[in-house]
Structure 1
């Protein structure tokens, strides 16, 4: 309880009800807003050099003691670390023993260590100053920022001149943050989707001979493996995506290619996609799966307390003097959610109220893809609903 009260909002690891999706969503929302309003911000992705090997033990004990960890636990940890030695093996040769005085053991929980972090600044000078302050405060803990692996990106793609200890940091056009690819000047998650398809393709191919082509593996097992091993790779971070139609089509094509290989049928067999999904235990389309994930996440954000970072970034108002660019992308995450809510016959304000009731919202999300509302099919496909008979 004390740790929840003292931990910074940016710290999502090792905390209940938080995870990578919180951080990815917060970053995407911030980038989306700055791009849409034509505002420039500098994003620095910080990497600490050998973070888990360089932690100063004295600083570690002091930190966990300030976190109100019982003294008995601290004493046990100290006794486990005191007198630690190690060896280095090179082929068949072993080095002499040497004493270890820094770092944490492999497998130990170190919730205060964040190997990767990101900061935001309005200009290059501010980013340089913030990096200097972080490096200065991290030094007593034995942590050092790696200038080679720390990258800089701007929302508008303009050059950034940011230094760390007189080293000019490399500027990148895209960066993989917590497994999700963020790109400059882009609101849509096109780059991340292409990356996800590539990774899922490799994962699916690795199981082709040992699972998908095996006749002694029953279909239900194959579908369970597909849902548990391939789809999580394909749809990681999809709760935060702004999806273009062509990107959604590529995801659908990938799924259908996988399902056809699982069933061992080809396009020449002229079997419809609906029939293929039905044979695969009514596998939902990618569109339906992403809608479920995004609406489930929307409800989760609505139920967050006001101080939570995703909640603040989703609902906060921009400064009055900011104006949306004329050439700004029209499709944003909130508009995407509004479009999906129409198929549930809910407007945005109604949805915010209903989402506070977890069970009611769960029922609404569970109805996606069901044939209960025929006009919803037209809204889901972006077509006007048919005229009603008079």
Structure 2
């Protein structure tokens, strides 16, 4: 048992008893006071906004660059944590692809249903995924192999299609809610502001309109959940 006893004072200081422990270089009196300089683990942890925890950021004004970067980094963390599986030559490529779809890709898609994603941001995510798939197959970009070859061997579809599926799935969920639901009432909120010069940022509604046109869908189809999920579903 240590011979050094400390008592926390209201002023945030520490009072040390006159009995010193082994290794001390001087004797401390009962009135000696030492400034307490400690930091709690909570203070040491960087404060993270609530929207970042949920995987969404300034989606309504097109400011999701940081969120896209964060999700890509999360995907790489998952991939590095499973390199014993993804880089093991004894495991078949088909099983690796299934493991990737279950364990790694969801980390990159988390919160993406609320993203007003631009084409450049979608390409960033796709490039990160293709690098993972190449390394999983033991290849690099220098091997000059088409991306379709890796996707066929691993049975992994384009992540851009999965991003679109997640957006439309959430869109159908919102449309099926009652008009009095807070989720629906939030859509009618209008913020008065002065529009800046230049091209307006991509909005979530604009991104959805492009997705609906590409798949030949309409908002009325969202009332039937089974039919809607079938029409927007991506195989891999």
Pick closer, same or farther for the CA change 1:185–1:242 going to 2, 3 Å.
closer
CA deviation digits over 1:148-206, x for unaligned, max 9?
98xxxxxxxxxxxxxxxxxxxxxx9x724334253599533211110111121111112
Structure-2 residue corresponding to 1:188: 63
Q: Unaligned regions of 5+ residues in structure 2, if any?
A: 1-41
What is the alpha-carbon distance in structure 1 between the residues aligned to residue 103 and residue 226 of structure 2?
28
Q: 1:360 Cα shift?
A: 2.0
CA deviation digits over 1:354-373, x for unaligned, max 9?
1011122122212x689xxx
Pick closer, same or farther for the CA change 1:277–1:185 going to 2, 3 Å.
closer
Alignment of 1:1-390 (within 5 A): 175-177=49-51, 178-180=53-55, 182=57, 186-208=61-83, 210-281=84-155, 283-314=156-187, 316=188, 318=190, 322=192, 325-327=195-197, 329-346=200-217, 351-366=218-233
Q: 1:334 Cα shift?
A: 0.5
Structure-2 residue corresponding to 1:62: none
Root mean square deviation of aligned Cα: 2.7
- Per residue, is there more helix in 1 or in 2? 2
Question: 1:355 is paired with a residue of what secondary structure?
Answer: helix
What is the alpha-carbon distance in structure 1 between the residues aligned to residue 99 and residue 220 of structure 2?
37
Pick closer, same or farther for the CA change 1:300–1:184 going to 2, 3 Å.
closer
**Cα pair 1:259 1:276 within 8 Å, conserved:** yes
Q: Unaligned regions of 5+ residues in structure 1, if any?
A: 1-147, 150-171, 371-390
Q: Which runs of 4+ in 1 moved over 4 A?
A: 183-186
Q: 1:296 Cα shift?
A: 1.0
CA deviation digits over 1:261-294, x for unaligned, max 9?
111122222111122211211x121210100110
**Cα pair 1:190 1:244 within 8 Å, conserved:** no
- Per residue, is there more strand in 1 or in 2? 1
**Cα pair 1:188 1:243 within 8 Å, conserved:** no
Pick closer, same or farther for the CA change 1:205–1:274 going to 2, 3 Å.
same
Pick closer, same or farther for the CA change 1:317–1:205 going to 2, 3 Å.
closer
What is the alpha-carbon distance in structure 1 between the residues aligned to residue 147 and residue 98 of structure 2?
19
Question: 1:182 is paired with a residue of what secondary structure?
Answer: coil
**Cα pair 2:114 2:204 within 8 Å, conserved:** yes
Flag the structure with larger Rg.
2
CA deviation digits over 1:113-169, x for unaligned, max 9?
xxxxxxxxxxxxxxxxxxxxxxxxxxxxxxxxxxx98xxxxxxxxxxxxxxxxxxxx
Q: 1:230 Cα shift?
A: 0.7
How many residue pairs match? The answer is: 190
Structure-2 residue corresponding to 1:112: none
